[in-house]
Structure 1
Amino acid sequence: MNIYRTYDDLPKIKLPKGQEVSISDSTIRDGAQMPGIVLKAEHKLRIYEFLHQIGIEKLETFAYNERDRNAIKMMFDRGYESPEITGWARAVPSDIDLILDIEDIKETGVLMSVSDAHMLDKMGLPNREAAEEKYLNALQYAVDHGLRTRAHIEDMTRADNSYFVYPLIEKILEIDPDCTIRLCDTIGYGVPFTGVDEPFGIPEMVRYLKEDLKAKNIETHCHDDFGLAVANSIAGYWHGANWSNVTFLGIGERAGNAEMEKLLLFLGRRVEGFDKYNLECLAEFAQFMQKEIGIRIPRNKSVVGSNVFAHESGIHTAGVIKNPFTYEPYPPEIVGGNRVFLIGDSSGIEVLRFKVQDTLKELMGVQLTVEKDDKRLRSIQKDIHKLYDKEKRVSCISDEEIQAYVEKYFLFEPIVEKNMARKVDGIE
C-alpha cells in the first residue's frame, strides 16, 4: 500500500535514456528580441548573475553592437565558471569574426535556416543547394578558427527533413562531430507525441538525430505559439536530447520560448537526479524582470506568479492550514516564494480564524487561540459578508482591514465593556 501525505512520499520519475542533461539560456539573446523591451548592459549582467546563482550551464549572446560587447565584458569580469558565455552568428564569416574578436568566447551558434520559406523567401537564396553551401562554409570557418559550434537548425518543424535537413546535418557532423545540433521549433509547430513523423514530431526527430545520425549533442529550442514549448522541451529530454535552450519567463518573439522556470521546477521536483539547480532565487529573478525590464507577470503564472501560494477559498485554505501538501504542489521556499492567505468572498471561517490569530500575535506578541464559534470572530465574518453581499466590494480584504477588525472586536470592545462595568459597580 502506498501512502502519499508528504512531498517526500511521492516517487520521482526517471529519464528513460538515463543521459545527463543540461540547460542553456537565451534570455539575453532570443529573449532580448521580445517586442517592447530593451535589455541594457546592466540588465544583462544581472540576468547573468541570476543564471549563475541557479547553476545554468550556458548562455548565448549577440556581439553585434557596443552594448552587447560591454555586457559580455562585464559578465566575463565576474569570473564565474558558469554559465559559459557563448556567441551566436549568422552563417557568414563576418559575423563569426565578431565572436572571434572576443577571445574569451570559445563556442558560437551558427544560424542555419532550413525551411523553404526561410531559405527562399526570407533569405532570397536561389535554392536549397546554395543554402547548404553557405551553412557548411560558415561552419567550417568557425571550426578552422578554433571555435566549438552549435548548429541552429531554424524552422526544422516546417522543413523537409528527410530530403534536405538530415543530409545537411550529416555533413555538419563530418565537419564537427561534437557540434551541438539545435532542433529549432521556430513557429511552435512541434508536438511532444510519439508516433508523429516529420516535420512535427519532436520525439521522432530527436530519435533520428541520436540513433541514425549519431549526433553526440542534441538541443531543443522551442517556441510557444501553440503552448507546447515546455512539453516539447521535456519530450526532447525524454527521447535522448541532452540540452534544452530556454528563456526565463519564456520571453522572446511572438508567444516567446520555453520557460526556464517551468523546466527547472519539473526537473528538480519531479525527475530523479536533478538536485544540481538552485531554484531559491526564481521569485526574486521574476520580480527583477517585472520591475526593471517591464515584463508583466500574470498572477496565476506557474512557479513565479503572485497567486502560486495564495489561498482564499474555504476548502483550499482549510486544507493548507492543516497540511500544505493538500493543495500546494511544492513548498514555497523551493522557489523563494511565500505562502499567503487571503480573505475574499469565497473564504471560510478557518482562514479568517487563522488571519485573526496571526494578527493578534503581531499586535500582542503572544500566540492566542480563537475558537471557531467565538462571537467576535463571527461578527467579523458577518461584517465581511456584508461587503460582498451588496456586491460593491470587488477585491480581497487587506491585512490592514483585518487588523482594524481585530482591534475593534478583540481589543477595543472588551476594554469598553470592562470600563462600563466598573462605572456601574461604582453607582451601586
Structure 2
Amino acid sequence: MIWTDPVTGRQGFVVIDRLVRGVASGGLRMREGCTLDEVRGLAAGMTRKEALHYDPAGRYVPLGGAKGGIDCSPHDPEARAVLRRFLDAVRSVLKHHWTTGEDLGVRQDTIDEVLTELGLDSSIEAIYPLLDDPAEARRRLADAFAVEVGGIPLPELVGGLGVAESALTALDRLGIARTSARAVVQGFGSMGGATARYLARAGVTVVGLVDARGVIVNPEGLDVERLLRTRDALGGIDRAQLRPGDSQPADGAWLDLDCEILVPAAVSYCIDASDQARIKARIIAEAANMPTLPEAEAALHARGILVLPDFVANSATNAWWWWTLFGDIGADSGQAHAKVGQAMRRLTGDMLADAEKRGVTPREAALGVVDRQLARIEARFGRHTGTTGTHRTGGGHDDRR
C-alpha cells in the first residue's frame, strides 16, 4: 500500500510480506527518505524474525511479516499530524491484518496516543482473534509494559538485551574475554541504549556512542547508565552530562574506532563497500534493520569479521511481545531476561556453528534455518503471501482496488 498525505504530500507505505492465519507483524518507522523498497526489505526481514522463533510446543505461534514506513523526519513539526493521518488511512489493515509497534523515529507511546484519538483499540488489534483469552492477554501485556528495570521500561530493553546476548555469544565463540572487549554503538534510542547497557553490565567497555549530533568516545569507557538516564526521547545524548575523559571527535568518524564489537543501531544502509574497509571490529551486531549492504558484508566475511544479521540479532523485541501476549512468559523482568537470553544464545550459537561447518556467512546459515522453519509453519497453517505495496491510498481514505 502506498499512501500520499493530502496535506504535506509526504508518502507512507505498508508492505505485508506474508500472512499466517491472516495476520502479519512488523513495526512502523518514520524517517526522511524512507522508500517502498526499504519497507519491502524490512517486511521480508520480519517474516524471517517470526519464523526463527517458531516453537511448536509454545503458546506463541509466529505471524507473517509486515512493515510500515513514512517518508518524514520525526523532528519535523508536522510529524505527529502526518503519523495521525497515516494511521487513520490504514485503519482497516491495522484492525484485520497488521500488528505494529515502534520503530526508528516512532515511539510506542506516541502510536498508542494517536490510535486512541482515532478511536482504535490497539496497534495489535489484528491478533485478538488468535488469542484464547484476549482480555487476559492484553492485561498481561499492559502489566509487562508497566515494568521498569533500572528506570527504563522493560519493552525498551528486551531488544537491546537480545542484541547484546547475540554479540556476547559471538565474542565467547571467538575466545575473547568479555572484560577485555570494547564496543561502539551507533544509535542510543531504545535498541542502541539497551544494547550498550547490557554489554557494559557483562563487562564490555563501551568506548564509543553515536547519536544524531555526533560521536562521543572515551577509551576508558563511557558511563552508559548516566547517559541513559539523561538522554532525550529519541536517543539524543545530553552533552552537559559528559565527564572530563569523554571527547567528541570533530570528524564524527565511528566505523574505524578501535573495538571488538560494532553495533549499528540506528539507520539502514550505513555500511557500504568502501566503509567496510575502515572497520576494525571482530563482530558487527546488526541492531538496526539492514545496516550493512550485501557487497560490504561479503567483504567483511572475507576479512574474517562476523556479521550477525539483523533478523537474528534484533529479533527479541518482536518475540518478547508475543511470548508475553500469548502467555509463554508473564509480566516479569526476570522471566523476560531469561527467555530472551536463552533464545538468543541458542539462535546465535547454532547459526555460527553451522556457518563455520559449511563455510558460509552467518546470514546464509540463518536463512537456512528460516527456510526450514517456514516449511514447518506452512505445513501446519498453509501459506498466504501478502501485498508488496502496489495499492494506493490518499486523502485519508483507503482506496485499495
- Return the structure number with greater strand share: 2
Q: Max radius of gyration: which structure?
A: 1
Greater relative contact order (Cα 8 A, min sep 6): structure 1 or 2?
2
TM-score after normalising by structure 2: 0.29
TM-score after normalising by structure 1: 0.28
